[in-house]
Structure 1
Amino acid sequence: MLITHNGKCAISGSDVEQALEAAHIIPYLGSETNHPSNGLLLRADLHTLFDLNLIAIDPEEMTVLIAPSLRGKYCEEFAGKKIYIPENPMYAPSKKALKKRYEQCEWLKKKLLYHLNVSP
């Protein structure tokens, strides 16, 4: 994944190899989920926040979304930033997988309801 993602975190751009981890978009379920298109190269702290569904990737815009609980924290600087997409489309993150992950973020559902003026 270091080679396919140019050795940089998809969110922060960090190139400190020792701090980078391969993150599954859809949690690992065996060989069917172990493909570069189901992964992002992330800095360790961002990987943890992604796994906790506190950071999401908009599957259409390919931009970073940050949970309201992270407002005012250092990672807020990445909100709205486009992620790094590998040049080879075979290694690009799957929009389908990102959408599935995006839909798991409860805070995004609440935000959507708020924007639609609908009570949860």
Structure 2
Amino acid sequence: MHELSLLRGVVDAVEGVAQGRTVLRVGLDVGSRSGVIPEALDGAWPVARQNSVCEGAELQVTEIPAAVWCPSCGCEREIDEFFALTCPVCGTPTADLRHGREFQVTFVDVE
């Protein structure tokens, strides 16, 4: 499960900014095409945070849907993570994936 190693990296990064303060909550944005399974993050979080400043912290995951830029429509269109890179409205192929690859810490709440 690579989610555990990803979360250990998150905990390491949070420890760097928490400066010894107790962490209450950590927010993550996770894109639907990132290869990360949000449910696996929830299961791995208790293990990843052991013996760290995140020991009792809650993990808040925000799932970011995949979206492409459609040159024909002139706007972003949300796509299912399993769709080919085409506009779901007009069918125009596009390789311009605007959202869906995210995996980033968005906030850290500390005491």
The TM-score range, normalised by the shorter chain, is under 0.3
Query: What TM-score, normalized by structure 2, do the two folds share?
Result: 0.24
Larger-gyration structure (1/2)? 2
Query: What TM-score, normalized by structure 1, do the two folds share?
Result: 0.23
Which of the pair is proportionally richer in strand?
A: 2
Which of the pair is proportionally richer in helix?
A: 1
